[in-house]
Structure 1
Amino acid sequence: MKIFICKLHVIIKYVGGNSKSERYFPILFMAFWLNIVGQSFIYLTYLYFIKDLIRVEISYATLKVIAIGIAILSVVVLYSLVNDDEIYGNAEDWFQSKDPGEKLRMKFALGIILFSVFFGALIWMLYKL
């Protein structure tokens, strides 16, 4: 899992055009993406599967605190996962060893996947509000 997250982080870093030493921006990007997609799927799961089984009454202020807490927790968890210099160095070397065409294909494929899942989940959730 740690190796996969590090490789994903390296690809996202180079999709964003960041320098080799940059680690924080891709972590924020990954955390933001995970939060929007996660909240969308949690809402849709509640709406389609759990709504009739369990009645949950949560105030809007509580939801905001939970969302902010999950966002902070995801940044901390992602930072701790990519903070291992040996594993991260191996992921960096793995990406740098690819030829330019393969790097471009990997960045393009990841960008399409991230974009389509993000906006698909977000639009579906907003449509169901």
Structure 2
Amino acid sequence: MKAFATLLGVELKLSLRDMNMPIFALAMPAVVMVIIGIVFGSQPAFEGAPYSFVDQSVSAVAAIAVCAGGFMGLPIMIASSRRRKVFKRFFVTPVGVGMILGVQLTVYTIYATVSALLVFGIAQIFFG
């Protein structure tokens, strides 16, 4: 468990330094939610709808972070690690490939959770 926590800390620092995931998984959904809220405000989704367009869009905007991690972040990490021969170095350590992928899954789960909370918070505070 100590190896997992150490590797998780290192991978979180590396992903923050890379700035792909903070921009596309955290900042972009928040900005999109603010823009949707400014443009549509409390306007109903359609005539007679009991909910607003912002309420309808929250889950779609929160899905942006999941897609950013799953379709952009993880493949980029795997490709860059292979190019830099990081996986070859891990084969001589007790840390296996399963732990590396588990750590990456945890990192992207953290990004998705924080982004969803951020989007829901923006929708509640500013447009709720």
After TM superposition, the score normalised by the length of structure 1 is: 0.45
The higher relative CO (CA closer than 8 Å, separation ≥ 6) is in 1
**Higher Cα Rg, which structure:** 2
